[in-house]
Amino acid sequence: MLERASSYPRYLDILVSYIAIPLITAYTLVLIIYFLKILFTLTWPSGQVGPMVLVYSIAGFFIFVLSSLLDNRFAVFYRRVFPKVLVPLVIMQLISVGIRLNAYGVTEARYYVAIFGIFSILVGVLLSIKPDSRNGLIALLAAFFAIVSIIPPIDAFTVSRQSQINRIENILENEGMLVNGEIIKNENASKEAKIEVTNILYYLERSSSLEYIEWIPEDFMIYKDMESLFGFEPTYPNYPGELSFYSVALDSQQPLPVSGYDMLMNAFIGRHMNEKEITDRDFELEGYPYKLKITSLSNNDAHVAVLDVSGKELIGTDLYDYAKKILDEVVGAKSALSPEEMSFEVSNDEYKLKVIFQHINYTAGNDADAGTDYSFYVMFAVK
3-state SS record for 116-137: HHHHHHHHHHHHHHCCCCCHHH
State mean pLDDT over 354-382. 88
Q: What is the pLDDT of residue 158?
A: 95
| Coil, helix or strand at residue 355 | strand
Identify the band that residue 54 occupies on the pLDDT scale cut at 50, 70 and 90. confident
DSSP assignment of 74-110: HHHHHHHHHHHHHHHHHHHHHHHHHHHHHHH---HHH
What pLDDT does 120 receive? 92
Q: What is the pLDDT of residue 197?
A: 93
Q: Is the pLDDT of residue 239 over 60?
A: no
At 238 the pLDDT is 60
Instruction: Answer yes or no: pTM beyond 0.85.
Output: no
Cα gap 47→295, rounded to integer Å: 44
- The arithmetic mean of pLDDT across residues 215-238, rounded, is 83
Q: Judging by beta carbons within 10 Å of its beta carbon (0-12, 13-18, 19+), is residue 241 exposed, middle or buried?
A: exposed
DSSP code for 16: I
Q: What is the pLDDT of residue 133?
A: 54
pLDDT in tens, 287-305: 899 999 999 998 889 999 9
- pLDDT, mean of residues 74-86: 90
pLDDT band at 25 (very low <50, low <70, confident <90, very high): very high
- Cα separation, 108 vs 294, in Å, equals 46
Model confidence pLDDT, tens digit, residues 98-136 = 888 888 899 998 999 999 999 999 999 988 887 665 667
What confidence score (pLDDT) does residue 134 get?
Answer: 62
Is the pLDDT reported for residue 306 higher than 60?
yes
Task: Tell me what the pLDDT averaged over the chain comes to.
Answer: 87
